[in-house]
Structure 1
């Protein structure tokens, strides 16, 4: 661990030596002492971690030195030590940004010791947060968030980059399981707001009667059960990004209130009167067609235009071609790593089976499928028999994409073959068709054996 460098600026040599000796009892502290402000300023290039200033110096007072330190090294904590207990001066210095004000008396050494420890702990916490945010930024690099190289995904990357460069609102659409929240996080952690909060809330997961309080907060006594003041999600996200998932589930009354908040850039907590200024980046997501909801009178048109901003549509997995195999390999490798399994490969038939499936649950379904396949296989490779299609929505997504009648027939037969472990006789019986029909389709390679 590197030394914690402290500058002590004190014109009384004897008193400065006392402070230096006392702080030096901590072997992690490196102390440099100065008799005046000019000498201290000349050495600020050393980037001290903290500076203590005697308010009454021979060449300038504490307020003047504080201003010069802040101009040269913004963010460096400063403690002012004064021989006078002047409340007005102390308040003025706190307003100017000092970390602490200590009066010279019998307790100064102990108060200084405690103040330095507290400031150092806060600096350590801030550094940890910075490191974590940096790691999050790396974690949410666009190519790490969305695997693939299909044209549809390249278009998404381009839009994400455009969104990250500005503070424009972003609306993300796509089927369930396509990764909408991951995209929202990636945009946040690549924007100028990356060091500020990212706050996500699922509008469909909270009862409508509680949602206003959850979003805007409430004051103590605002309603029965409001025992303390509650800070809402919008306040939590101030200066950062708020992500409202399933925005299409918001009722018309709350749409009106949220529209006002977004227009005025301020909110009032439920039961309160204080106006709280907001500086947020809004990202919304939905699997619904909001334009159609507006036509049907289920979504406010003015609110729709306010939140749309830059639209990003995430393609369903079935429309991403070979990205399926890229993602499958990524999820498989990740599962093997986490569970200390050896490398596992796919057989050609397993790959073929994955490419033919329509993935109603999208990326989320694929990940679950790969976890199970890794457990079910022999430990070396995943065969087509190790891949299970158990989506409860598989039959509901039959019309997700327009196809020819022949393509629909192939999809239906393929679905039932998967369901009944490729038993042609059983599938023919269930669908009331001849076995020869299925065998011919297999022979023509329209479906796999």
Structure 2
């Protein structure tokens, strides 16, 4: 990794010692070093320049190191501060570290050398943050909903228009639609077209988090908050600070957590589990569910006040059966991507295969189509996908077709089974291809819904 540029402020009233530290750091031509004889002198200079690293003498003529660090922390919460002191008292060092110091050095013969290595470490961390920000910006520039959400049907044109409107503001967005319609993709499209595109997009499937851990996962916890909490954990809300938090399957949140979520959204601050001080956050919220939240409210499973708080801009994702010829565009897109990803010759659908795809209702929607197309690419002989390569099941189980939820469960089991058969029972590979948890496949095996032959 190339040496990153770094601006270092040295706050030290001993002119000789300040020169010693500055000389050592200046050996790296990519470092810019500023020297200040007092804390107030440095604080005034912040109006014209922001450092990447600060060294702070513990004993200063105008104020204590603690006082100056408190002011620096308030104005520059993310900038590392290394306290350098003549005091060897361990309790002082611990106290400064608790108050936000990046490190604590005692003035010794090798202090300048230790500072040199710490500056290198800070520079590497800064370079990674800059690279991540640049990558997020590039992703935002490349993430065009018109290309990522494939289709030309009226339903998709309406969806793209709503996505464009949603991206202009930070209004809460509630996405609904059947399983597999692409709710998370729509949420990403909104985020990466919004002013928050350079900040994190954090996606959480509420249904996949154990109930006894969901509060800690969302809001974080302090060290010692419960058995096993050996360190502080920053929750998803804080991780999404400045960006977007996407809560999928929000209807699965229990009523107790719904009340806490409502308060967090109203106050725009949270309390970590075991914490005593509220933590402010700035994250846009988007939620999704395949259920009808209005019906969930009527049945007493979802709080009405939270429902109205989350409603914001409602966007309904259309099922694939209502999108007409979009199914062929999607099928060809998935086929091309699968062939390229697996270094396979490009395949194409026969006319009979295209008609079979058009006539199928796809109860699993886009997710099922993708799985069917990928399996067909594996099974195909030559460069053409024929009807026999398309494992479509609704004509084979008409009794399941009439059962709604049962039909979808059987469809999913059938897709998983066909992938297991095609990949010699490799559960990890199938989980990766279908983008589901391996625990889901193990549970299906345990319930005799699928088997490894």
TM-score (norm 2): 0.70
Cα offset, 1:269, TM superposition? 3.0
Count residues with an aligned counterpart.
Answer: 373
- CA contact 1:219–1:228 (8 Å) conserved in 2: yes
Match of 1:350 among 350, 353, 360: 353
Residues in 2 aligned to 1:272 and 1:21: alpha-carbon distance in whole angstroms: 43
Give CA-to-partner distance per residue, 1:340-363, whole Å, 9 cap, x none.
111211111111111111111111
The one of 219, 241, 245 aligned to 1:242: 245
Q: Secondary structure at the match of 2:207?
A: coil
Per the alignment, do residues 63 and 343 of structure 1 end up closer, same or farther by CA in structure 2, a change over 3 Å counting? same
Q: Deviations over 1:68-123 (max 9, x none)?
A: 4x44454x425468797659364455433475566898546424422431332122
1:282 matched to 2:285? The reply is yes
Q: Distance in 2 between matches of 1:388 and 1:8?
A: 63
- Counterparts of 1:27-106 in structure 2, within 5 Å, are 29-30=28-29, 50-56=31-37, 63-64=40-41, 67-68=44-45, 70-74=46-50, 76-77=51-52, 79=54, 88=63, 90-91=65-66, 94=69, 95-96=71-72, 97=76, 99-100=81-82, 106=109
CA drift of 1:240 comes to 2.8
The C-alpha deviation readout for 1:251-285, integer Å capped at 9, x for no partner, is 22322222222222222233443222232211111
Range 339-348 or range 217-226, more displaced: 217-226
The structure-2 alpha-carbon separation of the partners of 1:119 and 1:387, relative to structure 1 and needing over 3 Å to count, comes to: same
1:206 corresponding residue in structure 2: 209
The equivalent of 1:307 in structure 2 is: 310
Point out the more displaced range, 322-331 or 91-100.
Answer: 91-100
Alpha-carbon distance in structure 1 between the residues aligned to 2:9 and 2:226: 54
CA distance in 1, matches of 2:269, 2:6: 41
CA, structure 1 residues 83+271, in 2 after alignment: closer, same or farther (shift >3 Å)?
Answer: closer
Q: Taking structure 1 as reference, are residues 271 and 126 closer, same or farther at Cα in structure 2, changes over 3 Å only? A: closer
Distance in 1 (CA, whole Å) between partners of 2:399 and 2:330 is 23
Verify the 8 A CA contact 1:54 1:80 in the aligned structure 2.
Answer: no
Indicate yes or no: 2:145 matched with 1:149.
no
How far 1:193 sits from its partner (Å)?
A: 2.7
What are the within-5 Å matches in structure 2 for residues 183-194 of structure 1? 183-194=186-197
Q: Structure 2 CA distance, aligned partners of 1:263 and 1:194?
A: 24
**How far has the Cα of 1:202 moved from its partner?**
1.9
Moved more, 135-144 or 251-260: 135-144
Q: CA deviation at 1:389?
A: 0.8
Question: Contact (CA 8 Å) 1:204, 1:246: kept in 2 or not?
Answer: yes
2:257 is the alignment partner of 1:254: yes
Counterpart contact for 1:53–1:62, Cα < 8 Å? no
DSSP-derived class of the 1:243 partner:
strand
Change (3 A) 1:280 1:246: same
- The answer on whether the counterparts of 1:349 and 1:384 sit within 8 Å (CA) in structure 2 is yes
Shift of 1:364: 0.8
* Residue 319 (structure 1) aligned with residue 322 (structure 2): yes
Question: 1:349 & 1:216 partners in 2: Cα distance?
Answer: 53
Gaps of 5+ in 2: 86-106, 405-453
> Within 1, Cα distance between the matches of 2:361 and 2:375?
18
Deviating beyond 6 angstroms after TM superposition, the runs of 4 or more aligned structure 1 residues are 6-10, 12-21, 81-84, 391-394
Q: Is the 8 A contact 2:246 2:287 kept in 1?
A: yes
* Alpha-carbon distance in structure 1 between the residues aligned to 2:58 and 2:307: 62
Select between 387-396 and 136-145 the one with higher mean Cα deviation: 387-396
Q: Are the equivalent residues in 2 in contact too, given 1:53–1:80 (CA < 8 A)?
A: no
Tell me, what secondary structure is at the counterpart of 1:208?
coil
Note if contact 1:216-1:231 (Cα within 8 Å) is conserved in structure 2. yes
Distance across 1 between alignment mates of 2:315 and 2:226: 39
Structure 1 portions without partners, runs of 5+: 31-48, 401-449
What CA RMSD, in Å, does the superposition of the two structures yield over aligned residues? 3.6
SS in 2 for 1:285: strand
Instruction: State whether structure 2 residue 240 is matched by structure 1 residue 270.
Output: no
Tell me, yes or no, if the aligned pair for 1:342 and 1:379 is still in contact at 8 Å: no
Deviation sequence 1:195-245 (CA, Å, 0-9, x none): 333322222223434333333334455455555544333333333322211
Alpha-carbon distance between aligned partners in 2 of 1:197 and 1:157, rounded to the nearest angstrom? 22
